[in-house]
Copies of this chain bind each other. A is one copy, B any other.
Amino acid sequence: VLIGELSRRTGVSARMLRHYDSVGLMSPTGRSSGGYRDYSRNDIHRIFQIESLRSLGLSLREVKRALDDPDFAPTALVGQLIEQTQQRIARENELLARLRQVGNTDPETWGDVLRLVELVRDLGSDRPGRRQQAVLAAADQPSVPAAVLADALLAEAEPNVAGALRWALARMGTDGLDSLATGLDSADVHVRRRAVLAIAEFADAESTTLLESAVSDSDTVVRRYAALELGSRGHLGAVPALIEVVVDGSRDVEAAETLGQLAHTPQLAEEIVGALETALIDSADEAVRSRLTQALTEIPGPSAHQALSRLTQDQNQAVALTARSILEMRHRT
């Protein structure tokens, strides 16, 4: 067959078939008297082999070696191609993220684009000082999208810079909340912790919904942040997590106060006291039981009173003493 027909049958352009010939990858078996390339059945087969290997991303040089050099094993090259492809995909995904950030701001001029790219670059700088400065500069510009700051905040390990970012975000209204919400789904605990802390600074209903989901996070710290904030917003869903905070002992006083605020009806007070008593039964650790007893101080009403009376008889002396002194203080006021 002549080159034109072969091209039609294989979908490879005549130009490419000649190119394959010129680089020695595949020459036609024969030539006609007029110099026309004449391809045999075997040649056609080879074309299909070439195209198969090309579809795996091999260069023409690599295809040539693969088909002609019996010592050339596929394993190493295939592994290399996989790795290179993964790297390209990673790079392309980063590029796509940058482009989406730019696209989301709907820039009117390339100046807008440049300012945004520069901001993103500075927010990703190695030097905290430069990051801090970028945040302050961004806070003054009206066109900066909250999503950019939110992304930066989720990645920010430095407390000072993170604080500046939260402040800047809070000034911009609730725009950044969606981006922060994605941080709650991160596999990285630290990202989730940063996300709750930031979400806690918002006051709207959506942020409360997000905190409600965070209160059942797998990480203690995330649960603690969410519980303290949710509790101070009057949400009863925070009670189990708040009791856990008391048990854990870090920021337990704050958690106890919040529990006290939540117990603003006799009914609620009774439930919260019940939950605290259950926790007292579940734990054998003296320090933990003392903290739980202390927490009862904050709960108003007779339920807490009765619970404290029972605790004065507790087997553990420290617990019993704590209960007694709390009752005494209560009587005085």
Among residues of B, the one whose C-beta sits closest to the C-beta of A121 is B52
Stretch from A12-20, A82-90, A226-234, A240-248 contacting the other chain: A82-90
For this chain, the copies found in one complex come to 2
A109 within 8 A of partner (CB): yes
A112 within 8 A of partner (CB): yes
Interface residues of A, CB < 8 Å — how many? 41
Q: Is B52's CB under 8 angstroms from A79's CB? A: no
- The verdict on A78 contacting B107 (CB below 8 Å), with A52-B118, A113-B56, A114-B53 known, is yes
What residues on B are CB-neighbors of A56 within 8 Å?
95, 98-99, 102, 113, 117
What residues on B are CB-neighbors of A113 within 8 Å?
53, 56, 66, 74, 78
Task: Give A contacts to B, CB under 8 Å.
Answer: 48-49, 52-53, 55-57, 66-67, 72-75, 78-79, 81-82, 85-86, 88-89, 92-93, 95-96, 98-100, 102-103, 106-110, 112-114, 117-118, 121
Pull 29 A–B residue pairs with CB atoms less than 8 Å apart, ordered by A.
A52-B114, A53-B114, A55-B98, A55-B117, A56-B95, A56-B102, A56-B117, A57-B99, A66-B110, A67-B110, A72-B110, A73-B108, A73-B109, A74-B107, A74-B110, A75-B106, A78-B102, A78-B103, A82-B99, A82-B100, A82-B103, A85-B92, A85-B95, A85-B96, A85-B99, A88-B92, A89-B89, A89-B96, A92-B92
